[in-house]
Amino acid sequence: MDPTVLTVESTRVAIQEKQFSATALVEALHARIERDDTHAWLTHPPERALAQAAAIDKLADKGGPLPPLAGVPIGIKDVILTRGLRTTAGSKVLQHFFPPYDATAVARLEAAGAIVMGKTNCDEFAMGSSNENSAYGVVKNPHDKARVPGGSSGGSAAAVANGTAVAALGSDTGGSIRQPAAFCGIVGLMPSYGRVSRYGLIAFASSLDRIGPMTRSVKDAALILQHIAGHDPLDSTCANVPVPDYAAEIGKPVKGLKVGVPKEYFAEGLDDDVRASVEAATEKIHQLGCEVVPISLPHTKYAIPTYYVLATAEASSNLARYDGVRYGFRIKDAKTLTEMYRRTRDEGFGYEVKRRIMLGTYVLSAGYYDAYYLKAQRVRTLLSRDFDAAFAKVDAIVTPTTPTAAFKLGEKAENPLAMYLADIYTVTGNLAGVPAIAVPCGKTKTGLPIGLQIFARRFDEPTLLRLGHAYEHARGAF
């Protein structure tokens, strides 16, 4: 049993055919987690995973068919609630929080036979692009431990890349699934807004947040998405639209698809190695029979400022609940209620979270609302219309996922603007509500992974997966 090469499908088959038991796999992975030096995991008590594994093994012993995700070990980003399993959002504020219920995505995975191995490290409240903002320590990139794994789902990406999970759930508010997937050389899928329930996701920016799979292959992403997608009455923003058979869709031919390449994503600041790999991937897609055409997304240059107005405004509102009154961290020796509020939030939140709360409070304040928040909402509409206009002409859009490969730990820590610009190619998809996937497409001269990003129309994950899968198989090994 080599956990580093297991897939969703091969894990289920191996357990069905008694090559190994689900219990043996869980025990082996827990041992790997204990030895892991990337700090990808925050909480991983074995009891829940072993109980689920025992139930799967009991089914396997009976000889009948197993559930579709039977025995698949999955890491859950620590902003996604897990009943009775500590969930901190990478923050001191929730250091001792044990949720009373599971997020819908978690419940659906377990119902399909998957095994929750534990909670993966992340930037505090999913605010960051490097996984250096966690209150519980940084995560290291498995490909080079002197470099970041990306953020904010860096722990989930590292866990899949280093073989301590077969798949993981991440969340994506401005690139937090796709950017770490690109940095760690795995697949990361951000579904359309409303495709996957956000019930049980600790909110950062509610109009942007999404839950999605992080896996070793596009097919695995399709198989995980199959079971977490779909309407949920517990989330009023979850769309009541049919869920296709994603596994069946990815095998369909891509010949004849029109694929757009936006000029704005290949401008100044794009690393030469990243440019070369993405251009080579685009040529490979052309060789598969797709028509590659130049397009323009003219308002792209406004995406970062727009995102950091809207996301911080929503964060300011969402994080107001952490006040020391209802649950979470509370300062002990305050003499007045006002002092308790102030010191609880000052000591409970990390520096980046406080920066975003302050920015968000400012843009929502009287006298500045129209100048910043309202204007950003209007620009968001323009960005969304850019994608609508492009998808009237093409079926998919290909771009780099990130302007560079993984940067060194600490390299951007003192320069928030440089850190924010790491998301320049990903935030547009969140603002527009469209789905996107990051697929490995090469390596730098020093061996660091590079990711190709593919966008598709809202709720057209089948095209996204079909094109990603076709490219993945055509490109071969690096």
Does the pTM surpass 0.95? The reply is yes
Find all residues with CB under 8 Å of 408, minimum gap 6, and list them: 146, 147, 148
Asked if residue 403 and residue 339 are part of one domain, the reply reads no
Asked if residue 22 and residue 76 are part of one domain, the reply reads yes
**Residue 291 bridge partners (DSSP):** 258
Q: Return the pLDDT at 282.
A: 98
Total Cβ atoms within 10 A of residue 374: 12
Residue 150 lies in a domain: yes
Residue 271 lies in a domain: yes
- SS3 for 146? coil
Q: pLDDT digits over 439-466, tens only?
A: 999 999 999 999 999 999 999 999 999 9
Residue 2 lies in a domain: no
Asked if residue 164 and residue 37 are part of one domain, the reply reads yes
Q: Return the pLDDT at 130.
A: 97
Residue 207 among the catalytic residues? no
- The active-site residue, picked from 130, 134, 152, 316, is 152
Q: Return the pLDDT at 414.
A: 86
Asked if residue 466 and residue 327 are part of one domain, the reply reads no
User: What are the residue ranges in the chain where pLDDT is below 70?
Assistant: 478
Phi-psi region of 456 (alpha: psi -120 to 50; beta: other; left: phi over 0): beta
Asked if residue 312 and residue 295 are part of one domain, the reply reads no
- SS3 for 139? coil
Asked if residue 194 and residue 102 are part of one domain, the reply reads yes
Structure token digits, residue 414: 């003192």
Domain assignment of residue 332, given as a range: 305-370
Residue 1 lies in a domain: no
What is the pairing mode between strands 115-120 and 73-77? parallel
Number of domains the chain contains: 3
Q: Return the pLDDT at 301.
A: 95
Q: How far apart are CA 354 and CA 9, in angstroms?
A: 43
Asked if residue 138 and residue 238 are part of one domain, the reply reads yes
Continuous H helices in 137-245: 154-161, 178-184, 218-228
From the number of C-beta atoms within 10 Å of its C-beta (0-12, 13-18, 19+), residue 244 rates as middle
- The active-site residue, picked from 21, 77, 91, 192, is 77
Asked if residue 169 and residue 99 are part of one domain, the reply reads yes
Residue 10 among the catalytic residues? no
CATH number at residue 394: 3.90.1300.10
Total Cβ atoms within 10 A of residue 58: 10
Residue 77 among the catalytic residues? yes
**CA-based torsion, 178, 180, 181, 185: positive or negative:** positive
- The active-site residue, picked from 130, 134, 156, 176, is 176
Examine residue 152 and say whether the peptide bond preceding it is cis (omega within 30 degrees of 0): yes
